[in-house]
Amino acid sequence: MNSSIIRFILGNVLKTEAVLLLLPCLVALIYAEPEGLWYLPVAAACFLLGLLMTRRKPANNVFYLKEGCITTALSWIFLSFFGCLPFCLTGEIPAFTDALFETISGFTTTGASILNNVEALSHCSLFWRSFTHWVGGMGVLVFLLAIVPMSGGSNINLMRAESPGPSVGKLVPKVRYTARFLYMIYLGMTVTEIVLLLLGRMPLFDAICTGFGTAGTGGFGIKNDSIAGYSPYLQWVVTIFMILFGINFNAYYLIIFGKIKRALKIEEIRYYLLIILVSVGIIFINILHTCANAFNALTQSAFQVASIITTTGFSTTDFNAWDTNCKVVLVMLMFVGACAGSTGGGIKVSRFVILFKTVRKEFASYIHPKSIKIVQMDDKPIEHEVVRTVNVYIITFIVLFVLSVFLISFDGTDLITGFTAVAATINNIGPGLEMVGPAENFSFFSPFAKYVLMFDMLAGRLELFPLLLLFHPSIWKDLFAYKKSMRSIKKLQS
């Protein structure tokens, strides 16, 4: 394993985080908040450590998917560790475990919180908390690829390790330009939403933080009632943009270059929009009698469906009080998630489409044993390797999910709370039901349970395998073997 390239990339990640940590300082300067001073030493520590790690450039720039996965997992752990320190130093979240939980929830765009009073935080901390969503939404390594010149021709392995979905490809020939193009679309959509929120008379600070939370499909609100206190116009703007950020960004690339028909033919997007329409219809009919009027019922149902399927986690009402069938629909949407190649979490619509098509193919083979059926998507045959990967992913997901529910059951919480707490974290959603409902938070869990849920948040955001690879013995054996061989080469050279 090429440990030198891993070290080099991690160093660049820390230097990038150091720069990003200066933004809350500017916010603190605007609002004259002393808490902003604590972000400076953390930024300095990140920069110095990053400088030490990048002082020597790696002799070998080539790395494979294994290195990409390890680098990605370690990058998110490093980011979260240093990103939580300002919360501890300011005293706004004094317990390290709680601060780490909040930060991992931010970077993984989960939105699960341990805070009882969000509005008690300073503006700079509220900004940093929401900004972690925006950074984590598209992925910090995608951001790194867009701004830092990296050679070696293996950069696609970083994107594959970090980007959500069964498969990742390049939009343009060079990975760096693909990363830049993705961030241009991401930034453009974020700015557009913020402008529309401002037109609805949302305060600038609120609009920026809400824009970050929507773009990253994260869901950290800056008000205790999340989005409920804003006007129906603002709620509809957020609803529409949550749905838009849950769409595969490849579709936006095709639309920008005039290939609208190709974009409309993407099966995953059609199923994604159909699921949203059906879910909104079911919930609308069920809550109509409890709302003031039909428009209010439509606003609430559309908002919550968009929030859950895109794994954003904003709320305008306590959906924990809804009928059982409404809650069942929402829990199902938690697992479905958004499209591959979007900023949303969950298992992804494309995986379910592939899974159902594979099951249909197996049924057909039972009825017509001699027939040859090919699983297709977007009028193209799906490679057996992709089908196999989807099956392995879902099996691994189920095993990890069941194990996590079992582990946090030692806290003595009821089954619905434990089940939806894991569902909300591993799918990067935020709120669950009962004790982790939209009107509650995760503060009551024990430190052990919080670390289990933190692991789930990271595993869910990184598509399971990059994080799980860290626990494979052969990875560390390869790492130490590589270091030993490099020392031998240096001795021979000297």
Q: Which range among 62-66, 356-360, 362-366, 452-456 shows the weakest confidence by mean pLDDT?
A: 62-66
> Up-side HSE of residue 42: CA atoms within 13 Å toward CB?
25
pLDDT tens readout for residues 407-436? 999 999 999 999 999 999 999 999 999 999
Contact 130, 218 (CB under 8 A): yes
Sign of CA dihedral 284, 288, 290, 295: positive
Position 168 pLDDT exceeds 50: no
Q: For residue 237, with 0-12 CB atoms within 10 Å meaning exposed, 13-18 middle and 19 or more buried, which class applies?
A: buried
**pLDDT tens for each residue of 183-216:** 889 999 999 999 999 999 999 999 999 999 999 9
State how far the Cα of 214 lies from the Cα of 243, in Å rounded to an integer. Answer: 9
Residue range 262-288: mean pLDDT, rounded = 93
* pLDDT 10s digits, 290-348: 888 999 999 999 999 999 999 999 999 999 999 999 999 999 999 999 998 888 889 99
Tell me, what's the pLDDT at 463? 86
Q: What is the pLDDT of residues 72-81, one digit of tens each?
A: 889 999 999 9
Spatial CB neighbours of 473, under 8 Å, sequence gap ≥ 6: none
Q: Which of 338, 324, 346 is nearest to 275 (CA)?
A: 338
Q: Which residues pair with 232 in a beta bridge?
A: none
Work out the mean pLDDT of the chain and round it to a whole number: 87
Contact 208, 30 (CB under 8 A): no
Bridge-based pairing state of the strands 376-377 and 380-381: antiparallel
Question: Does residue 171 have a pLDDT over 70?
Answer: no
Which are the contacts of 212, defined by CB distance < 8 A and separation ≥ 6?
A: 130, 131, 133, 134, 190, 218
pLDDT of residue 173: 45
Model pTM score: 0.90
Interval 394-411: pLDDT, tens: 999 999 999 999 999 999
Burial 356-365 (b: 16+ CB within 10 A, else e): ebbeebeeee
Which residues contact residue 320 at a Cβ distance below 8 angstroms, ignoring those fewer than 6 apart?
A: 327, 433, 434, 437, 438, 439
